Amino acid sequence: MFVGDSLQRNQWISFICLVESVIPKDKKSMKRGRVHSVFKAKEYDATIEFYWAPFLVESNTDIPIKSDPKQRIIKVDSISQRAKNWLGADILVFNTYVWWMSGLKTKALWGEFENGEEGYEELETAVSYRVALRTWANWIDSTIDPSKTKVFFTTMSPSHQKNKEWGNVNGIRCFNETRPVTKKGHWGTGSNKEMMNVVASVMRRMKVPVTVLNVTQLSEYRIDAHTSIYGELQGKLLTNEQRADPLHFADCIHWCLPGVPDTWNQLLFAYL
């Protein structure tokens, strides 16, 4: 089971694509849901599942989705309502990053939503991220039997929004980029090292072993691999007018398939 945000769903779809082509049509099925989706290989009684939890912990903004970051309140100490759906998986692959990076401080809440969702505190993003990851880590340590379940954590997937960072001053974000960055060690503002350090420090203190699937640096180079203007917006392909406005409509966060997430899954498969 893959658990996380739309980039984790990107990885889940990639994993299915790598597997399903060798399974006869009548021996596989797909059930898509807003929160929980399941691909099944019937002959093996095996499933590859995705569970939507962009913060891992609970919030007021992901089910149903509120697109305005200013409305987001994250219950940094609450995970049980989400996590009960992850029990029984043989392999769990988690991620959480992009929903935290709204450019704002995060509104963190302890306990239940009450009094019109008041009572939250505004915290620096890295602080609330650490608290939420500790909540997740405590659930893993207290619930998961490592002899039965392998746990992975996929690091942040970089976005490529600022073309000046790779020297294309006349470009428009990732639009029309056809080659990877060749500068060794390229690192843009789409990846936050402070947040990555939070992940590392939380993992070091865990009892249950978690394999970190470090995809960040290798993905940083791939300015050419995003869906750009060839993706969807709210489930519909971009119109010709929208495609003609890459500054506002190019998707430089998610990845084309086949593409970069296939490499992530080759690394995952090597670990497995």
The pLDDT of residue 225 is 98
Element holding 218 (H helix, E strand): helix 216-220
The structure tokens listed for 17 are 């694509």
Tell me the pLDDT of the chain averaged across its residues.
94
The pLDDT of residue 118 is 64
Is the pLDDT at 117 greater than 70, yes or no? no
Q: How far apart are CA 114 and CA 21, in angstroms?
A: 48
Is the pLDDT at 14 greater than 80, yes or no? yes
Contacts (Cβ under 8 Å, ≥6 apart) of 68: none
Higher pLDDT, 95 or 110: 95
Q: Which residues are catalytic?
A: 6, 251, 254
DSSP string, 11-42: HHHHHHHHHHTTS-GGGEEEE--SSEEEEEEG
At residue 40, φ and ψ (nearest 5 deg) are -125, 130
Q: What is the pLDDT of residues 162-201, one digit of tens each?
A: 999 999 999 999 999 999 999 999 999 999 999 999 999 9
Q: What is the pLDDT of residues 231-255, one digit of tens each?
A: 998 889 999 999 999 999 999 999 9
Q: What is the pLDDT of residues 28-41, one digit of tens each?
A: 999 999 999 999 99
pLDDT-based confidence at residue 113 (cuts at 50, 70, 90): low
The pLDDT of residue 228 is 98
Q: What is the pLDDT of residues 43-75, one digit of tens each?
A: 999 999 999 999 999 999 888 888 788 888 999
Percent residues over pLDDT 70 in the chain: 97
The pLDDT of residue 269 is 95
pLDDT-based confidence at residue 264 (cuts at 50, 70, 90): very high
The pLDDT of residue 272 is 94
The pLDDT of residue 67 is 79
The pLDDT of residue 114 is 55
The pLDDT of residue 204 is 95
Using an 8 Å Cβ cutoff, are 136 and 55 in contact?
no
Q: What is the pLDDT of residues 193-237, one digit of tens each?
A: 999 999 999 999 999 999 999 999 999 999 999 999 999 988 899
The structure tokens listed for 194 are 């402070």
